[in-house]
Amino acid sequence: MDLQNRPLKKRPLFSNRLSIITVAAGSAIGLGNIWKFPYITGKNGGAAFIIVYLCCIALIGLPVLISDFMIGRRGGKNVVGSFRALAGDRSPWLFGGFIALFGSATVLSFYGVVAGWSLGYVVKAVSNGFAGKSPAEVGAMFNDFVTSPIAPIAYQLIFMSITAGVVYAGVKKGIEAFSKVMMPILIGIIVLLCIRSLTLPGAEGGIAFLFKPDFSKLSAAGVLDALGHAFFTLSLGVGTMITYGSYIDKDENLATTALQICIADTVIALLAGIAIFPAVFAFGVEPGQGPGLVFVTLPNIFVQMPGGYFFCILFFLLLAVAALTSSISMLEVSVAYASEDLGISRKRATLFLTALISGVGIICSLSLGQYRESLTLFGKNFFDLADFAVSNVEMPIGGAISVLFIGWVLKRQKSEEELTCHGKIKVPLIAAFIFTAKYLAPVGIAIVFLHSLGVI
């Protein structure tokens, strides 16, 4: 049987606008917002970096997100199938689909490891594991935990099993229903944490750090970090938003939806900053702490803070919840492909792909510990290599393919049909969008990409 042309079961669609935004914002809002954004902001000096980051979201992230949605909805299939439906069976553009498949699986492999740490830290927080420890001891505890061979892997596998369970249940009954419960919880927790942080004496220093720009602290590397992070935080270039786009009803306004998702994602990143930096300043800690900010600096602060026991639990719960609504979107990319194009049932595909991706994740986790020597390639351990390969290489390439496809390949008339829902709605700035997709975004991405590889 020709599997690619076999009659497909009717594809599911997200129920309504609110569902689309909840699910897609659930994908966008994740460890990127709560773990990565605060520490790269800290590293790059605060407010000036945030301004550059906002420009990257508006000028490049938003157009790529709209392009991903257009490809998915117009193609009406998984990431490879959508390119195939729009460009033809043997088109080189199919490469865009396959590289996205690879990217989504790779990102999930190391993401599951960090998400596992968050689960582990929920347990440590509940058992009051940080109490009475000196900052150096909390640092050593993190180091011992992530380099140990069993515990982080056990938590990673628990996390991956929950992810698989949600995807296994399907697009509507699993992904949509789960996100609708989790996202309000996430917002509730982050607001509580912000209130706690802002009411600490000395919180103003953190607010000034976040909102008073000092451009002398911004470097070229900071600009690169900003663009790379814009991709990561909006889940771009790995097929997630193409796959989710294929579940969006044909009457939805894609541009507005994409804009709302960008706003939601940015607001949560800023709230994460507000939950963290005022507390960091109130306790006189250095803001530029790097990746350990959340797992080392914060537990140290929580132990000194009134009510810190509960806020510590809430914080790591927040990380785990945010990570889950993102990891399901990563797994859905390859599950949708395998079940539609390879003729494997959705349930089997979920089980098989989860096992495969978790296996790679285990290698990433082990590469941080005692197997570091043997699990190193190109001078990087597997964990860093997976992060680098996705964030710095695959995502920019995948994102560029989407905008180039919309800018140069899909006929202008078809793009307009997609954006205006076949003329039913009026959408401003279409010409500006197409111009951005054709020139601005690809050139911006190319510069950053070449720079990150050290070519320019």
Q: Is residue 182 close enough to count as binding ligand PHE by CB under 6 A?
A: no
Residues whose CB is less than 8 angstroms from the CB of residue 100 and which lie 6 or more positions away in sequence, other chains included: 79, 80, 237, 238, 239, 242, 333, 398
- Residue type at 183? M
Q: Is residue 396 close enough to count as binding ligand PHE by CB under 6 A?
A: no
Judged by CB under 6 A, the stretch of 76-84, 147-155, 233-241, 417-425 that binds ligand PHE is 233-241
What Cα–Cα distance (Å) separates residue 243 from each residue in 72, 218, 262, 398? 6, 36, 17, 13
Minimal CA–CA distance to 399: which of 285, 188, 229, 189?
A: 229
State the CB neighbour count (10 A cutoff) for residue 346.
Answer: 19
Q: By CB under 6 A, name the one of 39, 232, 244, 405 that touches ligand PHE.
A: 232
Q: Is residue 71 close enough to count as binding ligand PHE by CB under 6 A?
A: no
Least separation in angstroms between residue 111's CB and ligand PHE is 7
Residues in the interface with ligand PHE (CB under 6 A) total 15
Judged by CB under 6 A, the stretch of 13-21, 31-39, 196-204, 444-452 that binds ligand PHE is 31-39
Radius of gyration from C-alpha coordinates of the chain: 21
Judged by CB under 6 A, the stretch of 77-85, 135-143, 215-223, 227-235 that binds ligand PHE is 227-235
Measured from the CB atom, is 146 or 242 closer to ligand PHE?
242
Q: By CB under 6 A, name the one of 330, 331, 349, 366 that touches ligand PHE.
A: 330
Instruction: Please answer whether residues 390 and 397 qualify as being in contact, where contact means their C-beta atoms are separated by less than 8 angstroms.
Output: no
Measured from the CB atom, is 233 or 381 closer to ligand PHE?
233
Buried/exposed 58-73: b ≥16 CB within 10 Å, e otherwise: eebbbbbbbbbbbbbb
Minimal CA–CA distance to 340: which of 17, 158, 161, 101?
A: 101
DSSP-based three-state secondary structure for 290: coil
DSSP-based three-state secondary structure for 174: helix
Q: Is residue 399 close enough to count as binding ligand PHE by CB under 6 A?
A: no
Least separation in angstroms between residue 351's CB and ligand PHE is 20
Q: Sign of the CA dihedral 161, 163, 168, 174?
A: positive
H helix runs in 127-176, sequence order: 135-147, 151-168
Q: By CB under 6 A, name the one of 13, 101, 107, 360 that touches ligand PHE.
A: 107
Q: By CB under 6 A, name the one of 20, 24, 32, 404 that touches ligand PHE.
A: 32
DSSP-based three-state secondary structure for 288: coil
Minimal CA–CA distance to 406: which of 72, 56, 13?
A: 72
Judged by CB under 6 A, the stretch of 25-33, 41-49, 372-380, 422-430 that binds ligand PHE is 25-33
Measured from the CB atom, is 166 or 203 closer to ligand PHE?
166
Judged by CB under 6 A, the stretch of 16-24, 26-34, 52-60, 339-347 that binds ligand PHE is 26-34
* DSSP per-residue letters across 316-378: HHHHHHHHHHHHHHHHHHHHHHHHHHS---HHHHHHHHHHHHHHHHHHHHHTTTTTTTTTEET
> Using CB atoms within 10 A of its CB, is residue 9 exposed (0-12), middle (13-18) or buried (19+)?
exposed
Measured from the CB atom, is 218 or 269 closer to ligand PHE?
269
Q: By CB under 6 A, name the one of 326, 334, 339, 354 that touches ligand PHE.
A: 326
Judged by CB under 6 A, the stretch of 124-132, 215-223, 228-236, 431-439 that binds ligand PHE is 228-236
Measured from the CB atom, is 31 or 203 closer to ligand PHE?
31
Q: Is residue 33 close enough to count as binding ligand PHE by CB under 6 A?
A: yes
Measured from the CB atom, is 47 or 390 closer to ligand PHE?
390
Q: Is residue 78 close enough to count as binding ligand PHE by CB under 6 A?
A: no
**CA–CA distance, 41 with 50 (Å, rounded to integer):** 7
Minimal CA–CA distance to 63: which of 395, 440, 450, 447?
A: 440
Q: Is residue 30 close enough to count as binding ligand PHE by CB under 6 A?
A: yes
**CA–CA distance, 321 with 376 (Å, rounded to integer):** 31
Q: Is residue 101 close enough to count as binding ligand PHE by CB under 6 A?
A: no
Minimal CA–CA distance to 301: which of 320, 317, 282?
A: 282
Q: Is residue 235 close enough to count as binding ligand PHE by CB under 6 A?
A: yes
Measured from the CB atom, is 64 or 282 closer to ligand PHE?
64
Q: Is residue 253 close enough to count as binding ligand PHE by CB under 6 A?
A: no
Judged by CB under 6 A, the stretch of 27-35, 83-91, 296-304, 335-343 that binds ligand PHE is 27-35
Judged by CB under 6 A, the stretch of 75-83, 235-243, 310-318, 336-344 that binds ligand PHE is 235-243
Q: Is residue 238 close enough to count as binding ligand PHE by CB under 6 A?
A: yes
* Binding residues vs ligand PHE (CB under 6 A): 27-28, 30-33, 107, 232-233, 235, 238, 240, 326, 329-330
